[in-house]
């Protein structure tokens, strides 16, 4: 990439802090737009089989619409992705009560990272050009213990891959699980996602209760309508699944910390494909089942099944289930996880 691959424009201000929109363009013309409010990916222009660019993520074209509230379009999620049952956990003989969402759980860390204006620094690496964001989450924020020093890096490579790295350290025992919450539609949101074909490398999932938090059981996917262990057209099974479609955390077939392909998505009409690699143990697949009454970019009315989220993460509510991989971060240790969204076209 060249020195002009990242451009910055003023998008507004939040609580006296400047919000900037950054545009990163690679040598193929692929373009990622991301702002320092919530480290939100606002647009992602990706070539199709004919080389034509389309924006393949949902979102808004102005800051105010994000400030009015939204279902985590493109945001960086933390301190803890997904739900925590009863909005609390016990650690070191203390009960920590967290910010409660409408369903009685703690959801996405109370949207702390989504609502924060992050510091941003332009960087250039062997994996591409992009931005390194920084945020300091104070001890007790949304009920979580420990001062958490957080860095998030988003890079765009010349082979049309996005590298997202999440890093944090703490001065007290705490729990951390971070992800990106982009809503993908590989046909540019021209149609619903029913023709998208998806494969997830997982044989088990986190069974959930009525509040969509894990029961603690990790049953097999085989025989369920939400089994995605082989390439599956989403429209074939989506209406047979409770909660109006896919909303499950899949336990990936991988070793702890191993960087491995977790998911593949194919959109046959545009010819686009997306491969997702991660070091994390799980991936929540959400088919935007509750999406409605929102007008997004280009005047498009968003509705259920308009997009699919592929949220690689630690398992939800892990601190309340000793049989789940631990999310405990201790002083002197570093939280570090990576996601790669690798875009291509069908051959």
The single residue of 108, 175, 181, 321 carrying the catalytic annotation is 181
Of the candidates 60, 56, 103, the residue with the CA atom closest to the CA atom of residue 84? 103
Which run of H or E residues covers position 114? helix 112-115
The answer to whether residue 337 is catalytic is no
Which single residue is written with the structure tokens 């739900």? 83
Parallel/antiparallel/unpaired status of strands 106-107 and 148-156: unpaired
The single residue of 264, 267, 311, 337 carrying the catalytic annotation is 311
For 255, residues 6+ apart whose C-beta sits below 8 A from its C-beta are none
Total Cβ atoms within 10 A of residue 347: 6
The answer to whether residue 181 is catalytic is yes
For 310, residues 6+ apart whose C-beta sits below 8 A from its C-beta are 182, 184, 262, 263, 265, 274, 276, 283, 284, 285
Of the candidates 115, 154, 118, 151, the residue with the CA atom closest to the CA atom of residue 23? 154
Q: Which two tokens stand for residue 41?
A: 């990916």
Residues labelled catalytic: 181, 311
């Amino acid at each position: 990439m060249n020195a002009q691959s990242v451009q910055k424009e003023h998008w507004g201000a939040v609580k006296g802090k400047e919000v900037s929109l950054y545009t990163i363009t690679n040598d193929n013309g692929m373009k990622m737009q991301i702002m320092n409010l919530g480290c939100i990916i606002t647009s992602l222009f990706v070539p199709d089989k004919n080389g034509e660019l389309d924006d393949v993520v949902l979102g808004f074209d102005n800051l105010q619409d994000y400030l009015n509230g939204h279902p985590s379009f493109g945001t960086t999620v933390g301190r803890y992705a997904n739900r925590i049952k009863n909005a609390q956990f016990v650690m070191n003989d203390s009960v920590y009560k967290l910010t409660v969402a409408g369903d009685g759980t703690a959801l996405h860390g109370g949207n702390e990272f989504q609502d924060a204006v992050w510091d941003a620094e332009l960087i250039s690496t062997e994996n591409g050009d992009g931005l390194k964001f920084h945020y300091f989450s104070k001890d007790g924020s949304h009920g979580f213990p420990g001062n958490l020093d957080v860095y998030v890096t988003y890079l765009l490579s010349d082979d049309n891959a996005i590298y997202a790295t999440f890093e944090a350290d703490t001065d007290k025992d705490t729990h951390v699980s971070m992800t990106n919450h982009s809503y993908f539609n590989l046909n540019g949101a021209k149609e619903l996602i029913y023709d998208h074909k998806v494969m997830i490398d997982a044989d088990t999932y986190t069974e959930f209760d009525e509040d969509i938090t894990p029961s603690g059981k990790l049953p097999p996917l085989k025989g369920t309508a939400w089994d995605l262990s082989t390439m599956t057209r989403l429209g074939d099974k989506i209406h047979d699944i409770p909660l109006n479609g896919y909303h499950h955390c899949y336990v990936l077939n991988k070793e702890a910390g191993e960087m491995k392909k977790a998911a593949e998505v194919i959109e046959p009409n545009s010819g686009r494909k997306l491969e997702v690699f991660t070091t994390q143990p799980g991936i929540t697949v959400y088919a935007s089942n509750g999406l409605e009454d929102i007008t997004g970019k280009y005047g498009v009315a968003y509705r259920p099944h308009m997009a699919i989220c592929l949220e690689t993460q630690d398992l939800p509510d892990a601190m309340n289930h000793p049989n789940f991989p631990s999310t405990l971060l201790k002083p002197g240790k570093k939280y570090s996880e990576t996601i790669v969204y690798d875009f291509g076209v069908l051959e």
